[in-house]
Structure formats: C-alpha cells, structure tokens
Structure 1
Amino acid sequence: MRHLSPKTLLLGMGMLAAVPEIHAQTADHKTALSLYGTTLQYRGDLGSNFWDLRNGTVGGGASLTRYMSKGLDINLSANYTKLRYPSESGTFTSQTPLANNQRFDASMWSYGLGFKLKLPIKDEFFLHPYILLQPGFTWVNTDRSNGPASPGAPLAAASNARYGSFDGQAALGLDFHITPGFIFFVQAGQHYLLTDDNRLDGSAANSDGFWNKHDRYMQFSSGVTVAFGKAKDSDGDGVPDRKDKCPNTPSGVKVDVNGCPLDTDGDGVPDYQDKCPDVKGLAALQGCPDADGDGVADADDKCPNTPAGVRVDATGCPLDSDGDGVADYLDKCPNTPAGVKVDATGCPIDTDGDGVPDYQDKCPDRAGPASNKGCPEIKAEDKKILNEATKYINFDFNKATLKTSSYAKLNQMVQIMNDYPDYSLSIAGHTDSKGADDYNLRLSYERAASARKYMLSKGIPADRIEARGYGETKPIADNKTAAGQALNRRVDFDPYLTGDTNAAEAKYGPAPTIADIKAAGNKLPGKKTTGTGAPRSRKAPLKKAPLKKRK
C-alpha cells in the first residue's frame, strides 16, 4: 500500500472532517444543525488503508446539537458512507495477485448520541478545539468476495452480510466560528464495531485481543453548522442578556459589545444622556465639563475661572447676596442694603471717613459722630449762644419790631449757621397769657418772623430757617406772676439737622410755619397786632388816657 506524504496528509485533513455532531451552537443559539461530508478508511483482518486517500469513499450526514454549557454539547447524528477494502474498486480476475485475494465493499448507516467536550473558550474566539465521545449504532450491508487461490484458478464465491452493530467513536475536532451563528468544522476519529470482526470483512485472521477482535475504521468529516433560536434580549439592543452588562438599556439607544450605552468620551455618562458627548465631563452636569469645579457646566458658566470653594449662583458667578457688585467671598460687608454705593471691598462708601456710611450720613462730606448721624456736633459755646439767645432778642413794646440791641446776638447766630451748613434753625415765638388769645398768637408769629427776616437778610438761605408761633399755648412758667409772664414772653432758637423734625415741633407739637401759611395763601392767624411798625405821630387828647395791657 502506498503511503501519503505529510504535506498530502495535512491537505487531506483540512478537507475532511469528522462526524455529524454539530458545532455551531452557543449559549445564545443553543440549538444547531450541522451538514457535512465524510469519508471512511478501514483497518482490520484484511489490512489497513488508514491515511490512504486513493479512491476514497464519499458520504454525508447531519446532526442536531444542543448547547448544555460552555464545556459540553450533546448531539444526535446520522450519516451514510461507503467503506471498502482494498481502497481500489473493481472485480477479481483470474490474474488478480494472491495478495489481494479478499475484498469487501460495505454501505454504512451510522447513528449516534455524542458528547462534545469543549475547551471553555469564549464563544467570540475564532478557534474552538474539542473531543467527541459518541456511543452509537451502525447498520452494515457488506459484499465480500475472494480472488483465485492461485493465478489461473477459478474465482471463489462471493457473499453478502446485513447486520446491525453497536459502536463507539472517539474523535478530535476544530470549530471555526465564522459568525456567531455559522461555524465551519473539521473532525477526525475512529469507530469500533462491537460485533465479531469477521462479519464486516469476512475474515477472522487476526482476532486476538480486544483491539484486533473488532473491526474499526477512521472517519474524516468536514462541514458547516448553523445555529437556530434567538437569544433572549430583554432590552432589544442586539446584545443577548447573557452577555449584556446593561440589560435595561432604553429602546433605541446605541450600545457597545457589552450591551452598555455608548460613551464616546469615556466619562461614565452614556452618549444618550450626555449633553457633551465628545468631551469628558461630570455625571452631575449631564456629562459636561466644569473647569472651575463650581457645579456649573463650562458652557453655561459666565465666570468659568471662579476660585475653588467659592459659592456661585446659577450662572456660575460668585454669589453677591446684597447685589452691590462685589462677590460675597470678597465682600467685607455682605449685607449692604440694596442700592447703596460701595467701595472695592463691598462696604458702603464713607466719603468723609467718619465711620458713618454715606447712605446713613446726613453730612457725607463733613465728618461727625454716628450719634449725630455723621454730622459735626455744634460746639458747646455755640450751643450756649443759641440757648441763651432768647434773653437778648428784644422787640419794641407790643410790636414785632426788633430792637437794635438784638442785632449782635442775631449776628452771632448767623455766624453759627454759616459754620454749620448741615443745620437748620427753628424760631418759635411765645407770649404770656394776657390779652386775647388770637392777638397773642399773631404776635408770636410776627416776632418769630421778624427774627427770621433779619437772619435771611444776612445771607442765610430761606429753607434753613423756619418760624412759627404758639401764642400763649406753651408757657414755661406760671402766668400768674410777673416773673413767670416775663419768662413766657420769648422767642426760642433751636438748631436741628436739616431734614429732621423741626426742633420746635419736637418740643411743643405741630404748628404751621409762616412759610406754610404763605404757601397756602393764608394770612397769619389771629387779629392783627398794633404797632408792628414805627408809631405814627398824632395829637393826643388832653384828658388822661386809660392804661393799656403792656406786651
């Protein structure tokens, strides 16, 4: 028998394959159908044609396989193939050499239950080796014949046998995973028929021991396997649940090979939820970056370089709680009232530097204590002049005409008003209780107005002096005595910060000022007083005139 070279043998192995036990099924496609071609080679009592590809027989088969685990498949197979020896086909003649005086030609129908032992390799890997152990049953229809006993002798009679035999197969194979559901495979293995060895080939010439007693043959197979069934894919993303690391992906979302939503920038936020899918960002900001870490995405951050740890508003800019234009982290006065002008530190401007901010300072350009609303306090000696002025302001009898002796004191008060431009002056006229009430009221107004008029003539603005009269309604002493009446006949001079309540009103209650009365188009209240100007000369009667009430 001529033997094959190693090169020819390898080529033959690649073209052949073994067995109808399927190889395409996976954990995702558990049931598979294999179709394959096969060829058989005999070894027994008559000799051996193992690895001899001359005049090889051709057959085929099919198998149905079920995936059990990563390391085990079970299959049912059926195939039909011819088996002959010697491998050359033909008939005997009287000149056939003695060495070939026996031959058989058998049809083999094989059925088996196979156990495919696989290496635990991932299904996605291209090459999968395995071992097949398969008990089965073979139906044999064999034609046996003998050649002449010697050249020229008559031919021996031919015989036929039909029988069934249990058999066992052991094989090695390779699966080539072309696609997840399509596999090409090759396989080589040996079958052992468990019946007596002479039934197949008609010879028991070599029947000592188990391996020699039973005929055997090698089977090469190659074919394709197609998997059936659809892997469970709960979220419909195309990745079966078994492999899906993200089994609850929303419908329509693109996923990777693991079934997880695509994350192009690798920031842990899937693209379908990522507002910035091409730039790494933060999950809290829907995948967008935050360079200054203030919790506002860069795309929305109007202040993208805010220092770390600084509290920001919705725009990403530092908080400015009081709205003064100075961020809280720089603001030394974070609770400044709205609308107040502030300096660079966020504190209210204090123009005169007296510690009283301008918005609370009635005299923002001149320093003064907070107790006096930021205005300069009137010096003690000037206060004394104002407090004692009433003693030195005198009028003609029963008139509102100032005596010249009053001018010096009024001039002092004019100077005080010029020295303290933030103050106004309240002038309040008073009388004693003698005479008619309305007469006294008008007289008190006119005397206050006379003192005001003099000071206005010295340049004091009209809006800084208020004059009003209270008549006899605000006595400071007992009108039953002459001394008390003298004290009650007075004109008070009280300074107050411009804009504050009139000092006279604060002491005595409300009374319209002369300016108020004139603005309303009214006359001074009460009867007109006499002698408000210089007395006119007229002849007096010779008789003695009665005494009048003196004012």
Structure 2
Amino acid sequence: MFSTTNLLRGLAVGGALLGMAAPHAQAQTPDRKTAISANVGLLQYRGNMGTDFWDRSEPDLEVGGGGAITRYLSPSWDVAVLGYYETYKFSSEVRAGDNFEARIGMVDLGFKLKMNNGKILKEEARIQPYLMGGGGFFLSNSKGRANGQDFFNQIRRPEVFGLAGIRVRLSDVVSLDLTTSQHYPFTERVDNLYGSPDDKLYDRFLLHQAGITVALGQAKDADGDGVSDKKDKCPGTPAGVAVDPNGCPLDKDGDGVPDYQDKCPDVKGLAALQGCPDRDGDGVTDADDACPDTPGKAELKGCPDADNDGVIDQNDKCPGTPAGVQVDANGCPLDRDGDGVPDYQDRCPNRPGPASNKGCPEIKAEARKVLNEATRYINFEFNKARLLPSSYPKLQELVRIMNEYPDYSLSIAGHTDNVGADDYNLRLSYDRAAAARTYMLSQGLAPERIESRGYGETKPIATNATKAGQALNRRVDFDPFLPGDPNPAETKYGPAPTISELQKTPTGRPSAGKAPVKKAPAKKAPAKRK
C-alpha cells in the first residue's frame, strides 16, 4: 500500500537524478529513436459490481508497475509496446458480500500521436502532450464472490485501449510521463457478473500511470564535428574543421567565409576573394594590389590603364592612345621605322617617310617623270591588244621603279579613240591595260600591287576630229598610289564603265563628266574583267 502523493514525489526526484546523469543526450528523436519507460500506476474498475473511476476517497491504494518500449516513426508518430501488472481488489457497491480480487496483466501495441511535431508545438518543447490508441491482450486470474457464489476465472482475452498523456522533458535524455488510459477487455468474467442495467457489455478499467522514460542510442553526427545532425546547421563540414555550437565552421572575422577557407582569417573580406579585403573594389586583393586605393585591372596588379594600352597610367608617357594601337614600354605608339609617324598612322610602317606623305618614302622626281611619260612609249599592234616589243624596255623600267618603292601600288588605265563600236573600244582599252599588267607580272611584280581597267573612248584628252588628237587619246596611263588611297584612275576619270552601262545611254557613250570616286582596297587590285 502506497500513498499517491509519495509515489509521484518519488518519481519526480528519480527522474531529475536520471536527467542530471546525461545532460547532453537527446530525447527520443530521429537521432535517438528508441526509448524505454518504467512506470508505476493504479487501476480503477467499472462493472456490474459498481465503480471507483476517479474515486480518491481511499487514502491508500493498490499500485502496480509497468514498462514500455517506444520507437520513433516520424515527428508526429511513435509506436510502442506496453506492459502492466497489478493485483486489484474491489468490494461490490450493489450487493453486500460480493467482491473480487484479480491479478491483472495487460500487453498492448499502441500508436502514439505527438503534439510536439513541429507544427503544433516544437519538437524540443518541455511540455509534450500526446494521445495513444491500440490493442492487445488482457490476462487475469480473478477470484471472489458474485451473487452469493464463489468463483475463480482464468481470463485470456483481447482488449482495446485509449490513452492521453503528458511528457515533461527533464533533460535531453530523460522525461517524466503522466498518463491515463481506459482499457476495454473483451470479457465480463473479471467480476463474474453478466449484463447490467445500462447494457454495458464489458468490464472496464482506468489506468493512471507515472513513469520515467529514457532515450537510447547515440545522436547521429554524419560529419563528425561533435554536433548532432538534428542540430547541425552546416552538415557536411570537412573533417577536422573547428565548428561553433550550431555545427558551422568558425569564422573569426565574421565575413561569411569560414576560417578554413579564408586566406585572410583575421581581416574581414569578400567571399569572391576567399575572405581577403579589396579597398578599391577592383577584384584584386589589397595584398596583391600595387594600387590598392585606385581601381585597376587584375592583369596589371590592380593598377588603372585608362587608354587600355597595357601600360599603367602612372608609367604611361602617352596617355589617350587610341584603342587597339600597339605601344612600347612607355605606353607610346610604336614607330618601327623611326620616321616620327606612329605605325597606326603610317602607310609604310617598315620604311621611313615624311609625315606629309603619310610616313612613306616620296617617289623621286625623275622616277615620277618616267611614270608620267611612260604612256608615250607603250605601243600595240594595230587594232589589237598585243604589245609591240618596243614597249618592253619602258615597262621594265616601270618594274624597276615599283621594286624601288615596294609600298606603292600601280594603276593602269587603257583608253581608245572613237573610231569603231563603243563596246569594242571598251574591250580593247581594257585588254591593252591588262596586257601591260601581264607583262609587268612576268617581270616579278606581285599581282596585288597592280590593277588594270579600261575606259574605252569615254575619257578623251584631245579632240577625236584629227588624227593627232586620236593618237593622243589612244593611250595607257600609269599612276602609282599608296595603300589606302583611292585608285588614281577613279580619281581622274571615275569608275570604269561596263558594256551594259554603255548600252543604257542614248548615244552609246557615258557622260564625259567624272563619276563619283570609289576608294580602292589597300595594296590589292580588283579582279580583272574578262
């Protein structure tokens, strides 16, 4: 016989001592899924002989003991196997002298619905209400007197139960459980009386219990940092890395870069720079920045280069160099031939020449005279594009001049008088210019340096009314020009006409006025017309 008050006081003290013994463990959770419980309790009966449900009039009550093994399923559900044993006595309130004494055991399987599931209450809440339901077996040896007759019954019957409980978390491993459950064994033989005025089919029992629950096992710590996976806010921390109580790597300077990855662990910096500072924000750490207070380029050790020529501003003697221009170590444009004209403006960067001639050597007066007068010495067979041998010396002289001035190109333009059909004259003028070009190519000149074209009878320099004038109009012009300059023939005469253009004009002849000038490609003549 025990006092209920003394019973509960003893359970509380015992639970507190167990809690102090394992202060760092985790109560039943995904980390520690199994728990065992030890309980003391008392039964209360209701049946044909009467009831003592919720009756506290007795100063001393019979108590029993039990236990449970519980397994964590999810934040909301656990499954438990429960057992309880008690010797219970009851004297009838209906018929004097009737009574029974039963040694009662119950073994049940129950499913527990927890309120501390993270939705209603936090999983680590100190007060944790729950409900449980299930069923199992009711075992009893019952003896006594019913309706004036003695009886002795051995009972082995199924039962169902429902339970409400509160768990008080005393520590991270130990909890105090207070529960009340109602059990329905499928029998009326406990009191050996059958039937009742209120048509209750079975004897029923209330079971009030208080107990201590201890969670078993070790908390999971996948990354081995000493912080359980449940509490670890930084799972997967590399082995050997120092962590804080939340399992996150230490970050002494508070810059968001953990110390083990921080190349500057004592100075707040940027994650993009592995925790190192960058005062001027140019992406180069201060320790590597030769100009730490002025934004610059990484390839120039953090120093600025306003004109993007690869020479930092503080060393650049020619700031403002145009983009893409090659420069020397001082940031000044290259001048390979040393003529004072930078290469990017020099039409002849490998040979010196005056700025007035775009950095190219000027053709000497005697050579230019030969070029200007060469037309008088170039002769063809009558009405054909075949050169007369008398033309060869002059053409060879022109080749020598072109070899002396390798940066220049040569324009050859053929012309005729107005005798004959317009389209025939146009073809003839082109073929004669082409014949001169072919001969000069045979003497070793590069094809891209010579361009030939024909103007037919469209650009006379004298009247065609006289034989002398016609002779002057039958000519081949030779004009040198620098790369990038317009073709001199186009400058003087305009674009060379085509046969289709001749056919479009009413007279069969284009206007004698100059056509708009087109700029010829540098150092490359257009393909010959056939």
What TM-score, normalized by structure 2, do the two folds share?
0.49
Larger radius of gyration: 1
What TM-score, normalized by structure 1, do the two folds share?
0.47
